Amino acid sequence: MPKRLWLQLVGAQGVGKTSLLKAVSNRLFDVYPHYYFEELSRPLLADKSVSALDVLATNDDQLLITTAFMLQYIKALASPYQLILAERTSIDCLAYTRHLSNPSLATLRLTGQFVIDTNMNCGSNMDTVTIYVPPKIPFVVDGVRREESQKAIDKEVVRILNEFGIVYDTLEVVDREERVAAVIGMIVEHFCEDDKIITIGGS
Nearest-angstrom CA–CA distance, 47 and 52 = 11
Question: Which pLDDT score, from 0 to 100, does residue 203 have?
Answer: 40
CATH number of this structure's domain 4-198, picked from the four choices 3.40.50.300, 3.40.50.1380, 1.10.357.10, 3.90.15.10: 3.40.50.300
Label residue 35 exposed, middle or buried (CB < 10 Å: 0-12, 13-18, 19+): buried
Instruction: Count Cα atoms within 13 angstroms, Cβ side, for 61.
Output: 23
Using the 8-state DSSP alphabet, how is residue 172 labeled? -
The residue ranges of every structural domain in the chain are 4-198
Q: In what order do the strands lie in the sheet with 83-86?
A: 35-37, 83-86, 4-10, 126-132, 169-170
- The share of the chain scoring above pLDDT 90, in percent, equals 69
Q: Are the C-beta atoms of 13 and 146 separated by less than 8 Å?
A: yes
pTM: 0.90
What's the pLDDT tens digit per position in 68-109? 999 999 999 999 999 999 998 999 999 999 999 889 999 999
- CA angle, 93 as apex, 91 and 97 as ends, to 5°? 120
What's the pLDDT tens digit per position in 141-197? 777 778 889 999 999 999 999 999 999 999 999 999 999 999 999 998 888 754 444
Q: Are the C-beta atoms of 147 and 14 separated by less than 8 Å?
A: yes
